[in-house]
Amino acid sequence: MPEEEYYTSQVVRNRKSYFETPKEKLFTQSFLPLEGEIKGTVYCTGADEHVRLRWMFQKICMSFSTWGYAVFFAANLLGHGRSNGIRCYMGDMKKVAATSLSFFKHVRCSDPYIHLPAFLFGESMGVLLNFSCTFSLSLILGSSICYPGLIFSAPLFVIPEDMKPSKPHLFAYGLLFGLADTWTAMPDNKMVGKAIHYTERLKIIASNPQRYTGKPRVRTMREILRKTQYVQENFGRVIIPLMTVHGTYDGVTCPSSSTLLYEKASSADKTLKLYDGMYHSLIQGEPDENAAIVFKDMREWIDERVKRY
């Protein structure tokens, strides 16, 4: 089925474009409902590769759209898919996050959407990237560009012990004064198998020739380690409504990422959902009946916050 026909059959209008800053070019997508009034906007981010996005992550975007929300997706972070940058290298996470947030702000402040409630949705490392940056921006602290809600799926705030980068390796590479930053030299703990629960989807993803199979880059892992620590120290600064969800069998990001955020966030309106036996990719990597449970909880949460807006 041609792409446009597929989106129409899902009652969704899809658009692809590039958002350009003076130095960077970010591949983006939007998903708008074809029918009914737009209730609000959702701004999505993740660290997925282009191929996985095309048929998996967009399931999240289309679902929000069918619920009546205009969805704007920083589809490929810098260093991923069609966006600029060395592949799977995020040596300066602040710059990577700032580019996505610039896109969100551009849309958020445009005439059709400025008066609508807006929500920031993130998954996995995409949450870490934007969350660490937004502590210094209005998304968390509140201002004229206020987001009335955050929705996080399996956020990367706490790294499982067997996934943590080796400190001796990081120290040794650090002695090279930046020469090793882009090297694919860090140990790889086979994240795909720990992220995808549904065997048939795991086989498809693992066999995809365009999937990045190299080892993590040195500075990317150093940045992840540094940012997770920074974010944990600043959970208390979160004051807006939030929902965080996690699978108890997540082997990529610790479920304690969500529980710690829930316990330490200062928001008076916060929700934690833990799904027993589910893996890291709660929607893309779970059987449909499990994903339906997660979607139901998210829809009830966001619709209720729109009513209060």
Domains and CATH numbers, the chain: 3-308 (3.40.50.1820)
What pLDDT is attached to residue 73?
81
What's the whole-number average pLDDT of the chain? 79
| Buried-exposed string 79-105: b where 16+ CB fall within 10 A, e elsewhere | bbbebbbeebbbbebeebbbbbbebbe
Burial class (CB in 10 A: 0-12, 13-18, 19+), 256: middle
Q: What is the mean pLDDT of residues 178-198?
A: 65
What pLDDT is attached to residue 295?
97
- Annotated catalytic sites, by residue? 124, 250, 280
Q: What is the mean pLDDT of residues 179-189?
A: 62
Question: How far apart are the C-alpha atoms of 307 and 117, rounded to whole Å?
Answer: 10
Which of residues 84 and 252 earns the better pLDDT score? 252
Question: 61-115: per-residue pLDDT in tens?
Answer: 999 999 999 999 865 554 444 445 565 656 667 777 777 788 888 898 898 898 9
Lowest-confidence region among 39-48, 73-82, 275-284: 73-82
Q: Please name the residue that has the structure tokens 């692809």.
A: 16
What pLDDT is attached to residue 25?
77
Q: What is the mean pLDDT of residues 274-281?
A: 94
What global pTM score does this model have? 0.84
What pLDDT is attached to residue 87?
58
Handedness of CA 246, 42, 212, 219 (dihedral sign): negative
